[in-house]
């Protein structure tokens, strides 16, 4: 194929609406884990198989397995013929788009052009818009589902997709389910960052009303009701979901989370073990099991003055086993790394704890709230396990320097304030301690206390420009 023809083909490919043009980056996901997750969903969400096969083909391509990718596209085609025999063209556009791109990357340019032509011909038949650029709600929704699968960096884009399709089909059960899921996840995410986002409760209720058989959405609604302290109503939804689909792992995982948050850890463990039998490689389930054993350990320490050491050791080992399984399965599971590091520290395995903390911080998809949470947890490790107050202060301060609010940052503020006040009371406070405490008081709008701290810091370090400047600004703000 000549360079001109190849460039022309590439130009046509760029106009297609499929996973290759949706900017889904492989560095944002653990591809092995994503492949496993989609495989599980194909088993348990039969009505979503077309879009799951399409996405799986793209994941396989990202893993340099193009023959495997083509196999999944053939399966997507079979599903289309079976479910939509009268709408084959309309329902195959994403599949054909992926076919075209994979053939192109395999150097099979004639086949790639054949699929491009099929898409263009179908689009012309279905609409008068530009070739390959037809605006079909099911394609926009499929894009939304793909964004959901690729993690929280893509959630806002997923939300936009589902909002767009709901404008014309406000009561479509599948579109409402997608919108409810993304709103639930966004709300959870932004709550950690102390930001407001539209409550997901109404979206979840509407999705359940439109499809009372969607027990997965039902469990998310139950968890949201639990957040709003409507625990009894939430539990009714959990019980109904389990009754309707007792062996459905995606219901069991959230039912377990509900009972763990209700402090019924034993029931949560029982449910998680049942779910793990069905999906043994689920990073989510292993993480939740690790959390449960960690909570059992802290309950034991809290309620027993001299907890039996064998029991303590066993709970630490079980928690480590499951957190480690979660991080092995999903190398980007930040919360599992933090849990694992914490339990290594509890087991006095400090080198492994240090190594795990560093792995957590090297994950390339961390948000600012994640980083603040890291500095808080790592600061605690330095303070309580390594007995290094200076390192604890350094890490809490790093969390504070990221000037966006989150629960992690607030935790850094509180821990740092407590530690600095303790050092000052013990007569160990230096200029940096007073200066940092002054900064915290100023953050908390305690200006007179901040002024006192900066004055003490300057007394110990007279020519420090930062402290002098902060003190001048504070005095001006009080007098103006």
In order of 125, 160, 180, 222, the CA distances from 205 in angstroms are 38, 20, 9, 10
Q: Are 260 and 291 in contact (CB under 8 A)?
A: yes
Instruction: From 416, 480, 415, select the one nearest 453 (Cα to Cα).
Output: 416
Q: Is 45 helix (H, G, I), strand (E, B) or coil?
A: coil
Distance CA 54, CA 76 (A): 6
Distance CA 178, CA 17 (A): 19
**In this predicted structure, what is the pLDDT of residue 159?**
97
How many angstroms separate the first and last alpha carbons of the chain? 74
Return the CA Rg of the chain: 27
Distance CA 163, CA 180 (A): 10
In order of 95, 402, 423, 444, the CA distances from 438 in angstroms are 60, 17, 14, 10
Burial 379-403 (b: 16+ CB within 10 A, else e): bbbbbebeeebeebbebbbbbbebe
Q: Are 100 and 119 in contact (CB under 8 A)?
A: yes
**In this predicted structure, what is the pLDDT of residue 198?**
67
How many C-beta atoms surround the C-beta of residue 313 within 10 A? 12
Q: Are 341 and 357 in contact (CB under 8 A)?
A: yes
Q: Are 175 and 166 in contact (CB under 8 A)?
A: yes
Burial of 118 (0-12, 13-18, 19+ CB in 10 A): middle
Q: Are 33 and 329 in contact (CB under 8 A)?
A: yes
Give pTM, 2 decimals: 0.94
| Sequence-distant (≥ 6) Cβ neighbours of residue 165 within 8 angstroms | 137, 140, 141, 144, 172, 175
If residue 349 lies in a helix (H) or strand (E), which one and from where to where? none
Instruction: From 338, 327, 369, 370, select the one nearest 30 (Cα to Cα).
Output: 327
Angle between helices 447-460 and 465-479 (to 10 degrees): 150
Q: How far is CA 407 from the centre of its chain?
A: 16
Distance CA 431, CA 61 (A): 57
In order of 35, 196, 224, 348, 478, the CA distances from 65 in angstroms are 12, 42, 40, 43, 66
Instruction: From 412, 367, 409, select the one nearest 394 (Cα to Cα).
Output: 412
Distance CA 125, CA 285 (A): 46
Residue where the block lists tokens 């709970």: 315
Cα angle 28-33-39, degrees, rounded to a multiple of 5 = 120
**DSSP character string of 403-428:** -S--HHHHHHHHHHHHHHHHHHHTT-
**In this predicted structure, what is the pLDDT of residue 131?**
56
**In this predicted structure, what is the pLDDT of residue 479?**
81
Instruction: From 478, 477, 475, 480, select the one nearest 458 (Cα to Cα).
Output: 475
In order of 115, 220, 273, 274, 354, the CA distances from 270 in angstroms are 49, 20, 5, 6, 32
**In this predicted structure, what is the pLDDT of residue 182?**
97
Retrieve residue 74's tokens.
């053939």
Q: Is 315 helix (H, G, I), strand (E, B) or coil?
A: helix
* Per-residue model confidence as pLDDT tens for the chain (480 residues): 556 588 899 999 999 999 999 999 999 999 999 999 999 999 998 777 999 999 999 999 999 999 999 999 999 999 999 999 999 999 999 999 999 999 999 999 999 999 999 999 999 998 765 555 678 999 999 999 999 999 999 999 999 999 999 999 999 999 999 999 999 999 988 887 777 666 899 999 999 999 999 999 999 999 999 999 999 999 999 999 999 999 999 999 999 999 999 999 999 999 999 999 999 999 999 999 999 999 999 999 999 999 999 999 999 999 999 999 999 999 999 999 999 999 999 999 999 999 999 999 999 999 999 999 999 999 999 999 999 999 999 999 999 999 999 999 999 999 999 999 999 999 999 999 999 999 999 999 999 999 999 999 999 999 999 999 999 999 999 886
């Amino acid at each position: 194929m000549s360079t001109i023809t190849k460039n022309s083909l590439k130009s046509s490919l760029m106009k297609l609406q499929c996973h290759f043009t949706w900017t889904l980056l492989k560095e944002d996901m653990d591809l092995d884990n994503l492949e496993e997750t989609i495989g599980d969903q194909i088993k348990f969400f039969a009505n979503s198989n077309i879009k799951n096969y399409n996405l799986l083909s793209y994941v396989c391509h990202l893993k340099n397995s193009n023959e495997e990718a083509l196999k999944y596209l053939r399966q997507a085609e079979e599903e289309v013929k079976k479910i939509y025999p009268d709408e084959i063209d309309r329902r195959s556009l994403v599949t054909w788009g992926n076919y075209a791109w994979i053939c192109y990357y395999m150097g099979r340019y004639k086949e790639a052009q054949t699929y491009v032509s099929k898409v263009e011909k179908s689009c012309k038949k279905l609409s008068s818009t530009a070739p390959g650029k037809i605006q079909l709600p099911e394609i926009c929704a499929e894009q939304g589902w793909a964004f959901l699968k690729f993690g929280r960096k893509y959630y806002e884009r997923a939300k936009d997709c589902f909002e767009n399709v709901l404008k014309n089909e406000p009561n479509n059960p599948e579109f409402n389910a997608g919108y409810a899921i993304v709103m639930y996840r966004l709300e959870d995410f932004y709550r950690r960052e102390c930001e407001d986002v539209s409550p997901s409760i109404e979206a979840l209720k509407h999705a359940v009303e439109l499809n009372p058989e969607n027990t997965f959405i039902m469990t998310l609604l139950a968890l949201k009701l639990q957040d709003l302290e409507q625990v009894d109503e939430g539990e009714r939804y959990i019980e109904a979901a389990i009754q309707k689909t007792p062996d459905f792992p995606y219901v069991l995982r959230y039912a377990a989370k509900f009972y763990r948050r209700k402090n019924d850890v034993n029931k949560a463990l029982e449910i998680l073990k049942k779910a793990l039998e069905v999906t043994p490689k689920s990073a989510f389930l292993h993480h939740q099991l690790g959390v449960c054993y960690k909570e059992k350990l802290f309950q034991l320490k809290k309620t027993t003055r001299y907890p039996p050491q064998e029991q303590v050791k066993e709970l630490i080992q079980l928690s480590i086993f499951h957190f480690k399984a979660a991080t092995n399965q999903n190398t980007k599971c930040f919360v599992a790394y933090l849990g694992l590091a914490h339990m290594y520290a509890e087991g006095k395995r400090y080198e492994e704890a240090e190594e795990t903390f560093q792995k957590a911080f090297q994950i390339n998809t961390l948000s600012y709230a994640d980083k603040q949470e890291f500095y808080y947890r790592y600061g605690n490790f330095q303070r309580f396990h390594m007995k290094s107050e200076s390192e604890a202060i350094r890490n809490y301060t790093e969390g504070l320097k990221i000037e966006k609010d989150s629960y992690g940052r607030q935790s850094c503020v509180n821990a740092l304030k407590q530690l600095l006040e303790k050092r000052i009371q013990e007569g160990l406070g230096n200029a940096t301690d007073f200066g940092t405490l002054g900064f915290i008081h100023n953050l908390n709008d305690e200006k007179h206390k901040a002024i006192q701290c900066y004055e003490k810091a300057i007394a110990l370090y007279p020519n420090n420009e930062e402290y002098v400047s902060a003190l001048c600004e504070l005095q001006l703000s009080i007098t103006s």
